[in-house]
Amino acid sequence: MQPSAPQYSERLTAPRSWWAVTALAAVSGGLVALPLGTLPMLGGLIGAAALAGALVSSYGTARIRVVAGSLVAGDARIPVSALGTPEVLDPQEARAWRSHKADPRAFMLLRSYVPTAVRIEVTDPADPTPYVYLSTRHPQELAAAVTAVRAS
């Protein structure tokens, strides 16, 4: 395998129900403009659909990759050498680490619609971040990829 080939890649996308709400927001935008006429109604429908779609897409989409010796999560790029052993979190543990166990200094790429996660301690003494919390639909695969890169 090439060093630059991703060992793990996942795109977290918004659930279908969010897109249904986007469609309802578009209809609402059209209904609000309906008393003004047909063209304003179409403008309201298209404008509301575009705005709601952009919001859902921007928040609802995040990417996690293990590539070239780094963990790339959202905008963060963390060398795997600065990370400890990954801990796979089941839905109950993931909820606990998102809420009452959470450290405000931690890097968290969390999506509430993804029930499972991986938590990895940051072992770099120069970094004040205690751990990385990543929502993932495939926690065992992500943990295995990070462990494999750390071992090589």
Question: Do the Cβ atoms of 142 and 66 come closer than 8 Å?
Answer: yes
Nearest CA among 106, 104, 133, 101 for reference residue 119: 133
List the chain pLDDT tens, one digit each, 152 residues: 455 566 899 999 888 999 999 999 999 999 999 999 999 999 999 999 999 999 998 887 889 999 989 999 988 999 999 999 999 999 999 999 999 999 999 999 999 889 999 999 999 999 999 999 999 999 999 999 999 998 87
pLDDT at 41: 97
Close Cβ partners of 107 (under 8 Å, ≥ 6 residues apart): 73, 76, 78, 122, 129, 131, 132, 133
pLDDT at 1: 45
pLDDT at 3: 52
Cα 133 to chain center, whole Å?
A: 10
> pTM value?
0.81
CA 54, 55, 56, 59 dihedral sign is positive
Rounded Cα–Cα distance for residues 86 and 88 (Å): 6
Which residue ranges make up each domain of the chain? Answer: 8-60, 69-151
Rounded Cα–Cα distance for residues 59 and 108 (Å): 14
